[in-house]
Structure 1
């Protein structure tokens, strides 16, 4: 029997801390906190946010000064995919791949029968899955949990579409930052390593050694190590 499919969120959590995933799985409620959901929802409201004044923006769950936030949104309008990001072809799309399944917050471009010709061959540019993070972006690129999640989304969409998907997008809407993720040998290797880790978990994995990212984990009393939760940092 093939192994059960892993979820995108479990992969992202394991990329951050496998031990946290072990304790997460023992909980009944694994929904993201409302604060994270509110920040993710910003990614679907860019045009409205651009028109808000300072007072209105301060009432939103953003992490930048209102003027800086508007300027960052203005820079996003220079992207060639700005129209697609603000009006995606699909939103909150369940992708069901060979090894993993989960939600792509957006899918840019046509999929399925709409993306094939009369003979069933793919046409046009491949669709692009989008992952939205409620957290803070790094100075460059994306954090590893989001990279792993983006690769999982690319592989799952490739499986569904029957063609290679080599590009994904990660949005950090609380900062009005959008980053591109290209499929690479290194990223695919990290994804496969994390996938094996998730499948092999049958007890508490090794503890982290006083890692700064773990200071505020809600599992600290069970884990015995000062930890910071993936939810609190990334809202997963």
Structure 2
């Protein structure tokens, strides 16, 4: 059964998932990522008098607190996000499985933590697929409809409410079909900028160019 991570990887680049499966690799969580994730369980302290200069945030202290204040004011689930019913829960869905970093009860929804930079609005496509997967898996376990999930970017103080729209569900189903169909190297992605930081770019045979050469 594919994992949430498998689906997110395939949404970004199916070929990358192929190589990861071929080498039977399970990426380890770097210490820097673990430290940033922990911020998501410290929001009240970070909003108060914590010295943010000592925290692994990705923006200035002023920007960070402003973003957290906006998240608190706008989110109907703030209390649940601050004090989730459970954390790091393995969800077993009908089609995939994986870990939800937080399980909320008011409203009932999963929340996933992303340590990179958020887009200006919404969430990145691989993250969207992963959020839908988590929500559907929780829905399957609870035997009740769950139509939302939350994306947290704790290093930026940003929280996004994500609805399971028809468009997002379609993207999830398309990615799930892709994952199930992989039995050899898929076609290379057209957006070669994705290849620049890929661990498999040498074995993949993709030649990357600098921004200067592209311009």
CA contact (8 A) 2:85 2:102 kept: yes
Q: Tell me the number of residue pairs that the alignment of Structure 1 and Structure 2 aligns.
A: 206
**How far apart are residue 192 of structure 1 and its match?**
0.7
- Summarize deviations over 1:179-227 as a string: whole Å, max 9, x none: 1111121111110110111111112111123522321211111112257
3-state SS of 1:169 partner: strand
**How far apart are residue 177 of structure 1 and its match?**
0.6
Structure 2 CA distance for aligned equivalents of residues 175 and 66 of structure 1: 10
Counterpart selection for 2:47 from 45, 50, 53 = 50
CA contact (8 A) 2:110 2:150 kept: yes
Change in Cα spacing, 1:135 to 1:90, as seen in structure 2 (3 Å) is same
Counterpart selection for 2:112 from 96, 106, 131 = 131
User: If the length of structure 1 is used for normalisation, what is the TM-score?
Assistant: 0.82
3-state SS of 2:62 partner: helix
Change in Cα spacing, 1:10 to 1:47, as seen in structure 2 (3 Å) is same
Residues 35-44 or 182-191, more deviating: 35-44
Residues 162-171 or 35-44, more deviating: 35-44
Alignment of 1:94-109 (within 5 A): 94-109=90-105
Which blocks of at least 5 consecutive residues in structure 2 are unaligned? 209-215
Give 1 or 2: higher helix fraction.
2
CA contact (8 A) 2:77 2:107 kept: no
Q: Are positions 1:40 and 2:21 aligned together?
A: no
Which blocks of at least 5 consecutive residues in structure 1 are unaligned? 110-124, 228-236
Structure 1 CA distance for aligned equivalents of residues 54 and 107 of structure 2: 38
CA contact (8 A) 1:46 1:86 kept: yes
User: If the length of structure 2 is used for normalisation, what is the TM-score?
Assistant: 0.89
